[in-house]
Structure 1
Amino acid sequence: MKGFTRYLSGFSIENKIFVSNILIIIVSISTLAFFANNISQKAIIEKAVNNSSRELVLIDNNLKTLRFTIEDYSKILASDFRLQNVLYNDLLSDADAGYKPVEGLNNLSMNKTLSETMSNIVEPNTKIKAVSILTAKNQWVDVGFADNDYAARIFGPMNETAKHSYLPVWTGLIRFKFLYEGEDNVFAVSKTVIHKDTGKTIGRVVLYVKESVIASIYESTNSYKGGEFYILDRNGKIISSQNKANLYRDFAETTSIPIPLGDHTNFIQGRGNHKVLVSTNRFEPLQWSIVSVIPIDEITVELKEINRLIMSIGVLCLLLAFIVSFRLSRSITRPIFQLSKTIRRIRKGELNVRSTYQSTNEIGYLSDGFNSLMDQIEALMAEIVEKQKTKSEVEFKLLQSQVKPHFLYNTVETIISLIKLNMKSEAISAAKYMADFYKISLSKGNDVISIREELRLTESYLEIQQLRYVEYMEYTMHVEEEILNGSIPKLTLQPIVENAIYHGLKMNKEKGVLQITGRLCYGHIQIEVYDNGAGMDEARTKAILMEPAGPKDNSSFGARSVHNRIVMLYGYKYGLEIESVAGYYTKVIIRLPLPNPQEE
């Protein structure tokens, strides 16, 4: 970089302007192309998100329709009078009395009746593959569709919960065997059969729906090549997928995508060329999740054409920029030489020199701006001198506040009173707190100390004040460990605490509370001093940090001095802020910069 700078130093000013303009234009065009590409990509992805969301809503609606249809068929079958008569007669049969229970279910006419009843609600008339019937005596009826032995092993006998569950119940994905087609992946929907006259539970019907029926809902829906849909159960297992090898597997382990949470979720997962757009929709009736996974590369195919267009326009703009930049550099260089003469004189110390070049073009504006800048520099120099004077006055008043003779006098009086009352341990504690207070307040002449030391100083002050005004106050401190190494002007908290006691808590008839809290807050340290004392009205709150009306107006010197010291040390981003409601509370917020890691 230094070699390149030395190389440019040999250029004429005209060439420097020309090269600089070209570089700026190249960077601008590149930046524009970059943001245009990003904006286009975001727009395309947002479009894909909307399309994916619409597809998921469509799948959700189709699933709802399928669910209602299957459940309606289960209700129709469970209420069919022929099925109810067969199941009810079987329930009334008494094996011990010599009546054979199998007569009503397995004789040829009854078998035919059941077959006719179920044939209307299975393939090819509907999307239901087969139906099983479980009697109240836990007998599975074989009507030539489902393997009843398989059903008995999977579902077992009817339990008490099933007897009192009158709504259709869906199982998860299961492997089931059919008599003529072997095993397949199905969802089972069971419905308790309630006799319409007696209200007794006389059996249960189970309808089987193939997973492929569910998959057919979304197989023709995907708008993007390479996109996939999944349906997950409540545990994150895949219960429907275009790739049947993924069934029964954990979604997160199979796809390396975290299990999506929430009703409607869209996020991008992966890195580089392996990024995918993941969209989800919650199918609440069965607590399923419909998940769409689309490769980002497939979504952004049309972005390549946009990039080619941007490159073509960029090359044309760059050629035009070469011509304009060359002519512009020539028009600028001549008046610049005249302005440079004035600058060289100022470098020699002639600060009152001003440019005499007058024009309405940009160089004329530059000349006027340069003159204005020099005027502002002179004004700033005068302001700096005034600020230094003000700083000296503040530091002098700070030095006076460090001595605190009235506090020393009052503390000594308190110690004497405690000794007279034969409260020697309290007197010793007061003396120790006073020693700690003055030891830290002196701080070897340092005006800035750590927050940890400032809190110790303030705690010593509060402990002494609590001995004196035990009927007025109690206090608490809660400060985060992370900010204790931060810097703070010495005696920042003490004046604020003193004001809270004398102008807040003592004004109340009842005992008050003073709270000091400190924490990290949005990139800075924030310390709050809160009291539930007398409070102030809005006009008084605003006036506290303002400059005094006259030399004798020292009513709020403590808070104003603290605020000014913080501003001088750290800038106008930091300082005090006061909130108060008359008769209720006052809160002083102190903002300080974060601690420097090197100092820790």
Structure 2
Amino acid sequence: MFSVQISYNIYDGQLINQSSVILNLYSTNIENELRKIEALTFSILSDHKVQSHLKQIKNDASNSYERTIAINEFTKRLMAEAQTESYISSIGFIDNNGTEYSVGRHTKPMNDSQKNQVITIAKEESGGIAWMSAFDEENHIIAAREIRATENMEPLAVLLIRLDLENLVNRHISMESRYKPILMILSGETAIFGSKNDVDFSTDKVLAYKTRPYYIENINDEKYLIYYGVSNYTNWTYVHMLPYENIFYGISIMRTVMIAVYAMILLAFIFIGVKFANGITKPIIALSSRMKMVEHGNFDIIISGNGMNKAGDEIGQLEYDFKIMVNRINALINENYVKQLLIKEWELKTLQSQINPHFLYNTLASINGLAKMNGQDKISTMVKALGNLLRCAIKNKEIKITIKEEMGLLNDYIAIQKIRYGERLNFETDMDQEILDCSILKLTLQPIVENSIQYGLENLTGICNIKLKGYRAHDFIIISISDNGIGMSEDLLDKLRKMEFEPKGFGVGLKNINERIKLIFGDKYGLSFESKLNEGATVHIHLPIES
């Protein structure tokens, strides 16, 4: 009899321990859901679009259109996330002005005191997540997390997620409803959740038994197994109360289920381990093979991609970076090759044009002298300006000259045209002194001004006003040539912007000028255009700040 009693006691102890494991599993499932919420907050605050929206909201204090769009886009994102779990009552944020925005199944605005309290608690976590009760709302908690700018950690807003703990708890407890466990969750000495029941069990009684993981208590003449556990994640106290008579029901089935779960977890770990090992070794072998191809000068396998995609792990990142590096090297090689061809072609044309130039200079000098002798000042001025233009175009081998030198060439050209057109041509310049020593391709301005005269002045009956303006804008130099000519239609302007044709009547052509600038200075520089029909046209030249 004594041995049987011992066996019963041992069996009861095993059942109680097993029940404690099950109750602990409930707590673990709830903790896992809370960790999912933390992961959700991280995905939101690290999203570059969210960062952009919040910066717009912060930097634009007025109710501007851009700020309204940013708020709408952010709340749309939050609304989508609020629908992912049934226990998420609402998701919102508090901006730096203290304004609360909230969306979801059940929103409940906070007063100023509550908002200030939430903001203070969130800031104390230094970017981490803070859990707190939802003020006067039963069985609800708030997950608050400060959103900071990724580049300078400047506070942008406080993200708020209200959770319905009753919904969350019932999701997991209902999986084993025959046990009918009663759950109480404590934060310190404050109860933040309690299952609806008729059991009279106080918080003081829980704290009194805090030193033991579980114990048995008679409540309302019914015996209960009370399991006590503290979360390492939230530091909450989970108190499970399980009717003693329900423990023995289906315990063998639960034991089988647990074994199956552990077996599945083990198999999953084995499967994941094999996949993980293959995921590391195969990309490394493939990357090594591509490196050997590049070592022998074969860039085609890298440029074509050939299955190389940016994965989310370190190996994938390394493979992606290697592809980008090789493509850039190949692009630089090709770009340098094209530039060298262009320079050689320019030097060849320059040499060809320099064949016996002295005869042309001497002839112009003779004409200039004869014009002065006969009092023909206009002819003398035109011949002198033409000589200067030809001398610079033929004698100077350099592709790039200073803006000041280019302006000298342009002034000689304008001098000729003013004699030709007289008062019908009005030319104005407004150049910042700080850009005059910066570089520009030789004979860039003159063809564009010539185009303004040809398509502006020659099609006007009145005065043609041409204005040249140069200034520095951040990391660019912008030179604008504007005229009051007949302008261009939208169709013609669109073709010009796409460089689909080379305008007739040009010596060099806008397309030629644009391509030369991009080849010498880079693709982000070149020409841009503005025009309206019968309202003139403007050509903008974008150049680097290069002495």
**Bucket of the pairwise TM-score, normalised by the shorter protein:** 0.3 to 0.5
Relative contact order (alpha carbons < 8 A, sep ≥ 6): 1 or 2 greater? 1
TM-score (norm 1): 0.40
